[in-house]
Amino acid sequence: MVLYGLYMVPRKRSKVSQSTYTFWMGCGILIGTTLIGAVSGGIAHVTLAQYLLIFFCGVFWATGTDAYCRAVRYIGLSRSTPIKNTSAFLGMLCGIIAFHEFSARSGASLVLVIVGSVAVTGSAVLLGRVEANGAEKGKASRRKLVLGVLCSMWAAIAYSAYTIPMKIAYQQGVSPSAFLFYMGQGCFVGMVLMALLGGFRPAPKLVTWYDRNLALISGAMWALGSLCANIAVKLIGIAITWPLTKNTVVAVVYGAFVLREIDVMRHRRNLSYGLALSVIGVILLALATGRG
């Protein structure tokens, strides 16, 4: 949850174009997932069908991440992350409907998962309603708001949809670290494609080491966070893991108190209710895990 909430923070610090950041973040993901695979023994043999399935998970994920990066630039970390994190609810539906992770016989756990996921999603909606500090007025501002919301929504869809082939791969015996190792290759290819489509052209001298390292760190943070999330999916399922890992609290707290994106006093009601709902949702999901 912490790493997923913070891995896009370096984007706010970087001054390079979106396409340049996407390219170098993709490099960070490739480096991170390769190192994790090598250290954890994740470089395992898979069938061609499994490799293609996992590889295209990475490509699809990359489209969501490119959209999320753009959303952070358009409307800020504190507002884009809550909208993106509605993938918590979508992930819960994938787990329950597609893989029957909870049945009528486990009624109490099913209720806890649904109510907890709704609470986390409601938190995202409330926190997403706050306005950024110094928000510009006029058509340009409204255009950025619309684009930011649309990009965040696509990220939510992409981040939840790839859990279906992930779960299928797990059921076929692929380990979480192996899945991440091969998915990282797809992520890298997808990020490079997104960068090229966005106008990226290799020009190392035009990118400072500071900006390049920010993007590399962002990719490495995602890789480590994904390893933890992948292991959790294997242990407790998608329906619980996704609402927990896509929690909004970390990003909003960091954006509000460190980046100063939000006027805390002006929006204290939405912030208070949103954070409270998020905490309640986490508690309910933890209780469901214990019952499961």
Predicted pLDDT of residue 129: 65
Q: Is the pLDDT of residue 202 over 50?
A: yes
Phi, psi of 83 (to 5 degrees): -70, -45
Residue range 62-84, pLDDT digits in tens: 999 889 888 888 887 667 777 77
Closest C-alpha among 144, 169, 191, 150 to residue 28: 191
Predicted pLDDT of residue 136: 42
Residue range 103-157, pLDDT digits in tens: 545 677 778 878 887 887 777 777 666 655 544 444 447 888 889 889 988 998 9
Residue 50 banded pLDDT, cuts 50, 70, 90: very high
Residue range 21-36, pLDDT digits in tens: 999 999 999 999 999 8
CA distances from 122 to 104, 125, 273 (A): 25, 5, 9
Whether residue 126 contacts residue 280, with contact meaning beta carbons closer than 8 Å, is answered with no
Return the higher-pLDDT residue of 12 and 216: 216
Average pLDDT for residues 86-103, to the nearest whole number? 73
Predicted pLDDT of residue 151: 92
Predicted pLDDT of residue 137: 45
CA distances from 3 to 99, 121, 145, 201 (A): 26, 19, 26, 29
Q: Is the pLDDT of residue 169 over 70?
A: yes
Amino acid present at 247: N
Return the higher-pLDDT residue of 91 and 19: 19
Q: Is the pLDDT of residue 217 over 90?
A: yes
pTM recorded for the entire structure = 0.76
Residue range 252-268, pLDDT digits in tens: 676 667 767 667 777 78
- Residue-range domain boundaries for the chain: 2-291
The average confidence (pLDDT) of the chain is 81
* Residues above pLDDT 90, as percent of the chain: 23
Q: Is the pLDDT of residue 176 over 80?
A: yes
Token pair 């979480």 in the structure block, residue: 176
Residue range 121-136, pLDDT digits in tens: 777 777 666 655 544 4
Residue 102 banded pLDDT, cuts 50, 70, 90: low
* Residues whose CB is less than 8 angstroms from the CB of residue 104 and which lie 6 or more positions away in sequence, other chains included: 110
